[in-house]
């Protein structure tokens, strides 16, 4: 179990790095948006590339930030019953949810998004908009994001099993692992 918990820690660290990239992407997206607005209104210069790069960055923010959101246990959930469960009950609910819902959904999305990206990569597909950008970087965010969430799901499964076995400690509110 100790080796699996070390592996889970490696996954957590990997996703913290991608989470930092997603956070930096918010600033970059704001700067691109500001630059686009300034160039359009101050100098009457505009390009679809500016709009498309904003969409690409936003895709990166969402897809790269999803796994770290799961790691921090800040994802959306229905707390009608969950909030009333004791810590072990929450661990069981999480474990079952991860195994029954998250992992099959992410693996299915990864399965279908990878060929979508590869097709765009192989054809070097460009946007049909005037001045548009190459599309594969945005499409890469789909399988990459789903893969990162899958990995984080594995980490969370390991940590929940470790917690249930008494080999991994969670905080008293069962919101985040103790560091």
Q: Can you tell me which residue has the tokens 């956070």?
A: 23
The pLDDT assigned to 171 comes to: 62
Would you state the structure tokens that stand for residue 2, as one six-digit string?
A: 């100790």
Tell me: the pLDDT tens digits for 119-158? Answer: 999 999 888 877 778 889 999 999 999 999 999 999 999 9
Query: Considering only CA atoms, which of 151, 141, 155, 135 is closest in space to residue 62?
Result: 141
Distance CA 83, CA 72 (A): 16
Q: What is the residue extent of each domain of the chain?
A: 2-164
- Torsion angle defined by CA atoms of residues 157, 162, 168 and 173, in that order, rounded to the nearest 10 degrees: 60
Classify 73 in phi/psi space as left (phi over 0), alpha (psi -120 to 50) or beta: left
Tell me: the pLDDT tens digits for 37-95? Answer: 888 888 888 788 888 899 899 999 999 999 999 998 887 776 778 878 888 888 998 99
Q: pTM of this prediction?
A: 0.85
């Amino acid at each position: 179990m100790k080796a699996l918990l070390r592996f889970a820690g490696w996954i957590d660290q990997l996703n913290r790095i991608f989470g930092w990239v997603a956070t930096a992407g918010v600033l970059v997206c704001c700067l691109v948006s500001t630059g686009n607005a300034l160039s359009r209104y101050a100098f009457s210069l505009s390009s679809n590339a500016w709009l498309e790069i904003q969409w690409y960055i936003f895709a990166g923010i969402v897809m790269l930030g999803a796994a770290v959101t799961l790691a921090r246990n800040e994802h959306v959930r229905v707390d009608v019953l969950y909030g009333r469960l004791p810590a072990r009950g929450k661990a069981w609910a999480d474990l079952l949810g991860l195994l029954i819902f998250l992992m099959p959904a992410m693996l299915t999305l990864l399965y279908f998004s990878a060929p979508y990206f590869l097709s765009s990569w192989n054809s070097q597909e460009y946007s049909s908009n005037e001045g548009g950008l190459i599309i594969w970087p945005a499409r890469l965010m789909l399988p990459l994001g789903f893969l990162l969430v899958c990995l984080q799901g594995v980490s969370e499964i390991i940590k929940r099993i470790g917690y249930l076995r008494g080999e991994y400690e969670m905080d008293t509110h069962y919101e985040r692992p103790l560091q």
